[in-house]
A and B are shown apart, each in its own frame.
Chain A
Amino acid sequence: MLVDPRATVADMLRARGISRRGFMKFCATTASLMALAPSMTPKVAEALQKARRTSVIWLPFQECTGCKESLTRAGGPTLENLIFDAISLDYSETLMAAAGHQAEEAMKNAIRENWGNYLLLVDGSLPVDVPEYSVIGGVSNLEMLKEVAAGAKAVVAIGTCSAFGGLPAARPNPTGARPISDVVKDKPLINVPGCPPMPIAITSVLVHYLTFGTLPELDHLNRPKSFFGQTIHDRCYRRPFYERGQFAESFDDEGAKAGWCLFKVGCKGPTTYNGCATYKWNLGASWPVESGHGCLGCSEPNFWDWQGFYNPLSTTQWGGYAQIGAAAAAGAAAGAVAALAARRKQRPVGQDVQEEGK
């Protein structure tokens, strides 16, 4: 579709057949996601209607394309993916029609024309130790990120790989995969983690940026507080079972069939900050815990190596029986030496009396 560069976001959404009612519903949802009062909905709508399309460059590094799938195949032609009409996605190897040199050219043009104003989205981690492991058009990811980030107004790390290293960083991390934040130090950076992230989390960041021209309030891991402010456990519908101490012991026992809490089969919901329990997946159809599997904690740093997915949170990473055995053997040896030393000082009862009597 040919795009009029002067078109506003509202023009684009209208052209895609989004009704005013649908648009207002979208604004209300995103306003609540951004932790704004409902009274702010008209303001969001007004700002979005006037907003010019922002140039966006989306760089893919060591990734599986799951993050883009999450957004573009959210279950149907939702407003979440139509938001892409509200931005000018000038470069995305996966989503754009152009390929090869044409695509690289489009990126260079976008950078030149929008220097200092474009939004840079990144999915995938950076192979920092061996940059040659991931190159695009002969340019390493590391080099490309430095170049493109230099002219960006802000950088959004989409998905856990770009936010925290993700699966490519799993032990033994052969490429030396690192998050974007290790390289981008001088630009506003926002992390939207998840493996993949929820489409609405990505959209809400973009809408916030389009509406206010700024990034939303972030937590200590640079995640939008409005979306990542509460744990899965806080909003989980199985929580009453947790409170009552009713747990599934395996995936096919009576507890699992009755829909009891999945804590004992490894659910990481209590330590995972994400919106799955509230917004669900696939047009609100379901989410992992509702489907009978514990939360993997995919929006948290190091979730891939932290501990087994099926080990409950109340277990530890102890060193195994060999280590305990060695500690016990060392203790026994130390005790035996101490006992023998004490024994050498002892005299038979009576001997001391006899000696004293002499």
Chain B
Amino acid sequence: MNLLEFARGPAFNFALIVFVFGVVWRLAGLFLQWRRRDLSKPRQHNLIVAGTRAMLMRSLPPHELEKHIVFQHMSGYAWHIAWFISLLFFAPHLPFFKQFLGFAWPALPNWISLGAGAVALALLLTLVIRRATNPVLKQISTWDDYISVVLTILPLATGFLAYGRLLPIRYETLLALHLLSICALLVWYPFGKLMHLFLTFPSRFQAGALLGRKGVEA
């Protein structure tokens, strides 16, 4: 078994099992752990409105800080969107999704999907360097932040290396490294901050609903 066979077979299978197990475990653990019964009188009854409002409002930069965090905020959105464009609309990726879903969607021209990938890669590299050098960000960063960012960068970086044959290494080795980087991302996913993909909006909603119950407009 060569490296590519290993990456496409046992490694990917293992990573997929860990990913599914881990994500379902964490989601079930959180959602089934319903909150303590609150004996106080609710100040507001429409908690869905309160939760939805918080979910949307907290997706915008807080007014008071807007000026200071504009780069952080906009680049965060930009790389997420660009990353997902390159993942979901780069033509060679579509057979990957089709094998699970049984269907696929039209790809974008390579110049768009690859361009998006390049934007995501450049922004992620800038952000991780900034995180490591900015005195405040450095203080509040943990290993989880660095591991999560690096594991998000690796599939992009290895993808470009494989597609463009940018290293004097055989293509199948580069393709195997690309797949292994995806395996690493899947394995880490449920256990680190990357889980925010599934938790950001539910937790914003829940915070909004709880605060709304107490009469606070979040």
Contacts A317-B13, A346-B36 known; A264 to B91 CB distance under 8 Å? yes
Contacts A271-B175, A332-B24, A335-B27 known; A317 to B36 CB distance under 8 Å? no
- Contact: B179 with A316, CB < 8 Å? yes
Q: Report chain A residues within 8 Å CB of B98.
A: 315
Bound Cα distance A307, B96 (Å): 14
> Does B215 lie at the interface of the complex (its beta carbon under 8 Å from any beta carbon of A)?
no
- Contact: B172 with A271, CB < 8 Å? yes
Distance in angstroms from B187 CB to nearest chain A CB is 13
- Contact: B21 with A312, CB < 8 Å? no
| CB nearest neighbor in B for A263 | B92
- Contact: A314 with B110, CB < 8 Å? no
Contacts A323-B13, A324-B16, A327-B17 known; A340 to B95 CB distance under 8 Å? no
Q: Which of B57-91 contact A (CB under 8 A)?
A: 90-91
Distance in angstroms from B105 CB to nearest chain A CB is 12
Q: Which of A313-357 contact B (CB under 8 A)?
A: 313-319, 323-324, 327-328, 330-332, 334-336, 338-340, 342-343, 346-351
Bound Cα distance A57, B26 (Å): 66
Q: Report chain A residues within 8 Å CB of B36.
A: 346-349
Tell which of B4-12, B136-144, B146-154 binds the partner.
B4-12
Query: Which of B16, B23, B39, B109 is A348 in contact with, Cβ under 8 Å?
Result: B39
| CB nearest neighbor in B for A233 | B171
How many chain-A residues does the 8 Å CB contact rule pick out? 44
Q: Which of B9-59 contact A (CB under 8 A)?
A: 9, 12-13, 16-18, 20-40
How many chain-B residues does the 8 Å CB contact rule pick out? 50
> Does A16 lie at the interface of the complex (its beta carbon under 8 Å from any beta carbon of B)?
no
Q: Report chain A residues within 8 Å CB of B4.
A: 271
Which of B25, B108, B113 counts the most A-chain CB atoms under 10 A from its CB? B25
Q: Report chain B residues within 8 Å CB of A311.
A: 95, 99
Q: Report chain A residues within 8 Å CB of B25.
A: 330-332, 334-335, 338
> Does A247 lie at the interface of the complex (its beta carbon under 8 Å from any beta carbon of B)?
yes
> Does A252 lie at the interface of the complex (its beta carbon under 8 Å from any beta carbon of B)?
no
> Does A301 lie at the interface of the complex (its beta carbon under 8 Å from any beta carbon of B)?
yes
Distance in angstroms from A335 CB to nearest chain B CB is 3
Contacts A332-B24, A336-B32, A348-B37 known; A316 to B171 CB distance under 8 Å? no
Bound Cα distance A330, B34 (Å): 20
B residues in contact (CB < 8 Å) with A:
2, 4-5, 8-9, 12-13, 16-18, 20-40, 90-96, 98-100, 107-110, 113, 171-172, 175, 179
23 A–B contacts from the bound complex (CB under 8 Å): A245-B113, A264-B91, A270-B172, A307-B8, A311-B95, A311-B99, A312-B95, A314-B96, A315-B95, A316-B8, A316-B99, A319-B16, A319-B17, A323-B17, A324-B16, A324-B17, A330-B21, A331-B23, A334-B28, A335-B32, A338-B28, A338-B33, A340-B32
Given contacts A342-B29, A343-B32, 7 further A-B contacts (CB under 8 A): A243-B110, A312-B95, A313-B175, A314-B92, A327-B18, A327-B24, A347-B36
